[in-house]
A and B are shown apart, each in its own frame.
Chain A
Amino acid sequence: MSRDMSYEAVMNRKNEIMKKAVGIDYQVFESGGIAFDYERMMKEVGYTIDEVRKIQAETGVGNTPLLELKNLTKLARKLAPPGKGARIFIKDEACNPSGSFKDRRASVSVYRAQKLGYKGVIAATSGNYGAAVASQAAMRGLNCIVVQEVFDSEGRGQPEILEKGRKCEAFGAEVIQLSVGPELFYTFLCLLEETGYFNASLYTPFAIAGIETLGYELAEQVRAATGRDPDAVVITHAGGGNVTGTARGLLKAGCQNTKIIGASVNLTGLHMASDRDFNRKSFTTGHTGFGVPFATWPDRADVPRNAARPLRYLDRYVTVSQGEVFYITEALAQLEGLERGPAGNTSLAAAFAIAQEMDEDQIIVVQETEYTGAGKLPSAQLTFAKEMGIEVRRGDPAEDKPGERIIIPEHPAQIKVKEVDLNALRVSYISNCIKNYKVERVTAEDIRFLAEDTKTDEEFVKNVLKELGVKF
């Protein structure tokens, strides 16, 4: 009897397919309600920092340089009030084998797949993660399939994603290029079922454990360079893994007082599943189209319980505009001699503004860079934007309108962060938990879990529940 391969039927087999494809029984960490034992999951399924470092050393991942951006710091101090302008450091993650921090995220999954005897790995990603999985798979002798969302219905490919696809093919991966739509997940499930490969999901405990070394190394390097802990670390935020892994690594290194700041490119108003909007954005990751939904509902991911839980760690969340990130990308190349990809510089644009609020003796760290080149350069992205009818001009970035206008600042003083109300995201997350788990009465265990998962306290959670009219 042949299996029913219709959209509905395959989606209904999701849990069964995923269990085989990631080799984790998530059920054992469940409480039956909203709560689940996150830390036990991370401990039992993941690996310790030392184990991860060993795994990553086998494939040349990690130990990237920490560079002080002296000229950008000097520029920030020229714009800041007297005594203000923290020292800005950057972790040059582009030095990883495939050119981004995603190698850390892929390394443990591919190691695990090899150890468990899978013949290959599959990743559903339009980002640098594809190249990372492909590169790690090449090193470990596994087959690799990457499923990307690339084209609109006219067959126009997003330049940044086309480049990422090219890189995957350069590492010998099969790259399936799809048109716009969330049913990418359907194709992904069909492939997992057909091939029996390992799902190198971005959201398993393996993926997050792989990123913890970034935060840990960063803490060690900042201490060695300055004799103190970083005061703030700015992290480009999309699906939540970068924030979660880095923050956990910092905590494991003992940085209890380091502020964790998430930064996304503001793409408010563009619909992520819209065929038209797809090619009217110049950033394909690190933007609010992922950052907000993954913060308010992390378990939307391809695994039942997402190990990336950004609200658990974020102290502050800010946005910057596309034009501001392109500007700072130019500044990084021209003043610091580092030509790096724009999406990874989202956190740099934010850090440049935030440094001006901080004291001169404080330390702010941008925790990643990514490789750049054809398709990923500001010139490639802005040429494409103009072809798509987007207005590009110099001006005040406050006039930026995603999908219509990209405003390149006229002066670095115009680079500003916009605050995202974290409490509003926390309320939205709690409300999504109630809706998705269809609970009528919230238990004491659920309340404790929600307080931890939103970095608040039980009082905060109880007040939200009261407002939502939910019994506890």
Chain B
Amino acid sequence: MPDAVKGTWVQIHKVVLKPEERSPRLPDDTKKVPLEFRLKGFLTHDANLGEEVEIETLIGRKVRGKLIKINPEYEHGFGKPVPELLSIGMELRKLLGGEVDVSGHELRSCDE
């Protein structure tokens, strides 16, 4: 059984420029590493991870590269609770002294 069959949504990787092929005007840390490329699409054939494959992208372009992920997920999220932010709302409402302006009227508090 191959890792992924034709038609699977995958991510490929390739090196666009090796360190020695890169622009001469780069900071030292960037100069040492290659310019890398990642792209998602549908496999046009059965394949195993790490193999050179061809994908069809969302607009139908055929692109080749190394198969690095099968069913790649979006991994960004909402983050953890950040204590440095959590109390800001309460602090500000206190500063406003409970006066929150809706449609131009001064309100002491909502149950008054």
Contacts and interface: CB of A to CB of B under 8 A. Distances in A.
Interface in B53-112: 57-61, 74-82, 84-85, 88-89, 91-93, 95-96, 99-101, 104
Interface residues of B, number: 46
Contact of A378 (B35, B57, B82): B82
**Residue among A179, A378, A394 with most chain B CB within 10 A:** A179
25 contacts: A6-B21, A70-B101, A70-B104, A75-B92, A78-B95, A143-B60, A151-B36, A162-B76, A174-B39, A177-B37, A179-B33, A181-B26, A181-B35, A273-B26, A274-B27, A276-B29, A326-B85, A334-B93, A335-B89, A374-B78, A379-B85, A380-B76, A382-B85, A393-B84, A394-B84
Contacts of A186: 16-17, 23
Contacts of A169: 40, 58
Given A7-B21, A374-B76, A274 B30 contact: yes
Given A374-B76, A412-B95, A275 B85 contact: no
A383 interface: yes
B45 interface: no
A377 B81 CA distance: 11
B58 A382 contact: no
Interface string A63-78: 0000000110011001
A441 B39 CA distance: 49
A176 interface: yes
Contacts, number: 163
Contacts of A411: 91
Interface in A156-181: 157, 159, 162-163, 166, 169, 172-181
B89 A71 contact: no
Task: Please provide the 9 A-B residue pairs with the shortest distance between their CB atoms, ordered closest to farther.
Answer: A334-B89, A383-B79, A375-B76, A379-B79, A380-B79, A153-B33, A143-B59, A179-B36, A174-B57
Nearest to B68: A155
Contacts of B58: 169, 172-174
A11 to B, nearest CB: 9
A173 to B, nearest CB: 7
Interface string A299-333: 00000000000000000000000000011001101
A233 interface: no
Interface residues of A, dominant DSSP: mixed
B99 A74 contact: yes
A23 interface: no
A381 interface: yes
A193 to B, nearest CB: 14
Contacts of A42: none
A144 interface: yes
B38 interface: yes
Interface string A1-41: 00000110000000000000000000000000000000000
Interface string A275-302: 1100000000000000000000000000
A384 interface: yes
A431 interface: no
Interface residues of A, number: 64
B78 A380 contact: yes
Given A273-B26, A275-B27, 8 more contacts: A71-B96, A145-B61, A177-B37, A181-B23, A331-B89, A382-B82, A383-B79, A394-B84
A254 interface: no
A173 B59 contact: yes
Contacts of B57: 174
A462 B58 CA distance: 54
Interface in A40-90: 70-71, 74-75, 78
Contacts of A187: 16, 35, 37
**Residue among B75, B84, B99 with most chain A CB within 10 A:** B84
Contacts of A71: 96, 100-101
A71 to B, nearest CB: 6
A408 B21 CA distance: 42
A273 B27 contact: yes
Nearest to A137: B59
Contacts of A78: 95-96
A275 B77 contact: no
A145 B60 CA distance: 11
Contacts of A380: 76-79
A392 B83 CA distance: 10
